[in-house]
DNA sequence: ACAACCTGATTGAGGTTTCAACTATTCCGG
DNA sequence: CCGGAATAGTTGAAACCTCAATCAGGTTGT
């Protein structure tokens, strides 16, 4: 019912800066990563999570949840990765619906090669550009947004315009 | 030559919060938009820019630059949009290489229907979650990152790991 | 005025992601 | 302990994006 609360000019500047910079940033990181290594960013992120996991393996749905990917997307990506020998899959013993995905030695090697490229990019393009206060507030902001989005899942009905 | 400057734990938390929240945010906005209107987010953004432009039309490459899309991507998207009657294209009189893209009445109508949905989402999921200082710093942060990325275009060579 | 180069835009092929449908397993209420 | 609902994962087709190649038109230097 209530009328739309539009963005004022300054809010609009903030929002568009967010859109544009984020777009540029991910573009850049993606390009750097597969120019100087041969791992697309999404595969890189999967390998990072696996390498940090106890036993170097995770359930498919855990990975999907961490990276905020759909299960379907993850299956497709992991299928490609398995074909390249970066990961393996095996049935989960405790839950027979589940699948455990593990990083292989080849995957580890690819990760070791790629991570300096990626981390250097993140440092140069993000942290080197900001002072400590800005980093702190950025962290707080993103943490808040994440918490909100996690707990307020898709509303069943949204009263749009009218 | 220099050894990689890794992220410390707190930097990593900030970086991952940025990744996760941004992913969730765009996911959500996209879903809301094409649940409650029938315009994908990229098409919505194109229509917004066109509607703000003098004469309601822009060069293809201007749109691409504003939205940080490749020219090719834009061509494909606009081709779909033109097929649906949302925009039209015509040759640019001053530069015969160019193409001018204009929003149609149908496009305007779609935009008017979609914008309350989108703007409400942005307000709820972003601005309502933050106080004034946080919004101000977020703006400054994103402006800085954008400026850096715009002026430091893909380095010809990057010394990676080793 | 010409060659070499750059810019604007499109095309089609190939790769990735989404979407809906489907199977299998587990969880839960009665 | 049964039946319905939720969860885990996969599949294939369609939608979308990327990449490299191509074409046409402008720009520059000599």
Residue B2: predicted pLDDT: 76
Q: Which residues of A touch B156 (CB under 8 A)?
A: none
Check pLDDT > 80 for residue B5: yes
Q: What is the mean pLDDT of residues B98-125?
A: 97
User: Is A96 in the B-facing interface, judged by CB distances under 8 Å?
Assistant: no
How far apart are alpha carbons A46 and B40 in whole angstroms? 27
Between B77 and A3, the higher pLDDT residue = B77
Query: In chain A, pLDDT over 70 holds for what percent of residues?
Result: 93
Residue A34: predicted pLDDT: 87
Interchain proximity B68–A20, CB inside 8 Å? yes
**CB-count exposure of residue B54 (10 Å: 0-12, 13-18, 19+):** exposed
Residue B34: predicted pLDDT: 86
pLDDT category of residue B83 using cuts at 50, 70 and 90: very high
Q: Identify any residues that bridge with A90 across adjacent strands, giving them in sequence order.
A: A100
Tokens for A90?
């095996």
How far apart are alpha carbons A60 and B4 in whole angstroms? 31
User: Is B14 in the A-facing interface, judged by CB distances under 8 Å?
Assistant: yes
Q: Average pLDDT, whole number, for chain B?
A: 93
Tokens for B103?
């929003």
For residue B16, CA distances in Å to A60, B11, B21, B127 come to 19, 9, 8, 21
Residue A101: predicted pLDDT: 98
Check pLDDT > 60 for residue B157: no
Q: From the candidates A150, A161, A162, which should be mutated to test the interface with B, based on the most B CB atoms within 10 A?
A: A161
Residue B158: predicted pLDDT: 44
What is the per-residue pLDDT across B29-44, written as a single tens digit (0 to 9) for each?
Answer: 999 998 999 899 999 9
Tokens for B67?
């939205």
Q: What is the mean pLDDT of residues A57-81?
A: 98
Contacts 24+ apart (CB under 8 A), B62-65: B63/B101
Q: What is the mean pLDDT of residues A111-120?
A: 97
How far apart are alpha carbons A36 and B97 in whole angstroms? 34
């Amino acid at each position: 019912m209530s009328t739309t609360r539009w963005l004022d000019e300054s809010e609009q500047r903030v929002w568009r800066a967010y859109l544009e910079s984020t777009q540029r940033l991910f573009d850049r990181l993606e390009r750097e990563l597969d120019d100087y290594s041969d791992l697309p960013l999404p595969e890189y992120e999967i390998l990072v999570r696996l390498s940090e996991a106890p036993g170097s393996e995770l359930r498919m749905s855990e990975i999907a949840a961490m990276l905020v990917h759909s299960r379907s997307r993850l299956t497709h990506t992991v299928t490609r990765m398995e074909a390249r020998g970066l990961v393996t899959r095996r049935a989960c013993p405790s839950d027979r619906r589940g699948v455990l995905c593990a990083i292989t030695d080849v995957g580890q090697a690819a990760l070791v090669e790629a991570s300096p490229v990626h981390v250097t990019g993140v440092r140069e393009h993000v942290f080197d550009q900001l002072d400590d206060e800005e980093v702190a507030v950025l962290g707080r902001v993103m943490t808040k947004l994440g918490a909100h989005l996690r707990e307020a899942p898709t509303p069943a009905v949204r009263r749009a315009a009218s």
